[in-house]
Amino acid sequence: MDTSERIAVHPILGVPEKGRQVQFTYNGKTMSGCEGEPVAMALKAAGVMVHRYTKKRHEPRGIFCAIGRCTDCVMVVDGVPNIRTCVTPLAEGMDVRTQDGVTPLAGDKADKEEADGTI
């Protein structure tokens, strides 16, 4: 794992505590990170900055607030869309995927309209 993007020693907090190394997949590619760290942090350490694309304009979004408030970091995690990866702890074997729009769910009126081209 490339650890060059990680803080080894923080000037105020000292040496960060890290969980054990675990493997997860990002869009099918195997990666590793520290168990318990936010999924978004593991992705950032691996150089992944785009977490989702906006629904209407398909613009890239990534970490913005990093405290679970803005939804810019949402991704599909283990098949579940709209997971705020900045506050979701990384676990062994997670399947993390880039989210395109809202990711259609059964009964989602907005997604049906988008698929039909009515919006």
What is the C-alpha to C-alpha distance for residues 116 and 19, in angstroms, rounded to an integer? 45
Q: How far is the CB of 44 from ligand FES (least distance, A)?
A: 11
- Please answer whether residues 61 and 53 qualify as being in contact, where contact means their C-beta atoms are separated by less than 8 angstroms: yes
Q: Which is nearer to ligand FES, 31 or 52 (CB)?
A: 52
Note whether 92 and 113 are within 8 A (CB): no
- Residue 65 as a binder of ligand FES (CB under 6 A): the answer is yes
Query: Does 60 help bind ligand FES (rule: CB under 6 A)?
Result: no
Which tokens sit at 21? Answer: 């190394």
Q: Which of 36, 69, 110, 113 binds ligand FES (CB under 6 A)?
A: 69
| 3-state secondary structure (DSSP) of residue 83 | strand
Q: Using the rule CB under 6 A, which residue among 86, 90, 94, 96 binds ligand FES?
A: 86
Q: Which residues bind ligand FES (CB under 6 A)?
A: 63-66, 68-73, 84, 86
